[in-house]
Every structure is written in structure tokens, then in C-alpha cells.
Amino acid sequence: MMKWPLLIIPLAVTYYTCTYGLWALKNGHWRGGIGVFILAALVLSLAVYGLFFRQEF
């Protein structure tokens, strides 16, 4: 139950990163924009894995 509020920070980072990726795509930086979206997906997936699927000690 307490794990859901911990997702606020990774979601904020992912949102900020995606807005930068959209800006990069609009300005013609295709490789950078795609790379930023991959980075945002990686950050969010690692946060979800760490919070919900990892075994506790």
C-alpha cells in the first residue's frame, strides 16, 4: 500500500524526460528524441520493478 506514493518521483522524472524528448523531436533531433524516450521507459520500468517485483530481504 505504501509503495504507490513512491512512484511519484519516477513518474515526475519520466514526464519531464518525455517533454524534453518531444521538444527534441520537434526540432529535428530524431536520434536524441528516440534515445530520450528509451531512457524514460528504462527509468520507469526499473522503478516499477524495484518497488513491486523485487524480492525483499
How does pLDDT run across 16-45, given as a tens digit for each residue? 999 999 999 999 999 999 999 999 999 999
Count the Cβ atoms, other than its own, within 10 Å of residue 40.
20
Q: Is 43 exposed, middle or buried (0-12, 13-18, 19+ CB in 10 A)?
A: middle
pLDDT higher than threshold 70 for residue 3: yes
Q: What's residue 14's pLDDT?
A: 93
Which set of grid coordinates corresponds to residue 52? 513491486
Q: What's residue 2's pLDDT?
A: 78
Buried b (16+ CB within 10 A) or exposed e, 24-38: beeeeeeeebeebbe
